[in-house]
Amino acid sequence: MTWTVTNTVKAMVGSHPVTGKELVGHVDNSSYPLIVFRLLGAKALGTSDDYRTAKMPPVNVGLLDGQLAWRQHDGGHTDGPNWKYFIAWADKNFHRAAGKAQ
């Protein structure tokens, strides 16, 4: 992880000089992709931490219990079969009753 100072502001707080700095961070997560989700406190997919050795779930089995979701369906290159699963997942994660438009 690296940090870059993007803005510096010098000011006085009462009689005390202060320096404020705005930072932007960058994470190279290519060697450990889950670090970003862990830093954000998100519940991961529930698979192994090592994506290089983790086994793919069977086709038509979704990983939909966390704050991240994944599902591979059979039937070719279309997202249609996944919609009903991801809509239910999104409703749960946005704390919305399924099927109620707001």
DSSP letter for each residue of the chain: -EEEEEEEEEEEETTEEEEEEEEEEE---SS-THHHHHHHT----SS-S-TTTPPPPPTT-EE-SSSS-EE--SSSS-SGGGHHHHHHHHHHHTT--TT---
Domain ranges of the chain: 2-93
Which pLDDT score, from 0 to 100, does residue 7 have? 94
**Mean model confidence pLDDT for the chain:** 82
Residue 51, pLDDT score = 66
pLDDT for residue 91 = 92
Residue ranges of the chain with pLDDT lower than 70? Answer: 29-34, 44, 46-51, 98-102
pLDDT at 100: 57
* pLDDT of the residue at 78: 86
pTM: 0.52
Per-residue pLDDT, 90: 92
pLDDT of residue 54: 76
Give 36-43's long-range contacts (Cβ < 8 A, gap of 24+).
37/67, 37/68, 42/66, 42/67, 42/68, 43/67, 43/68
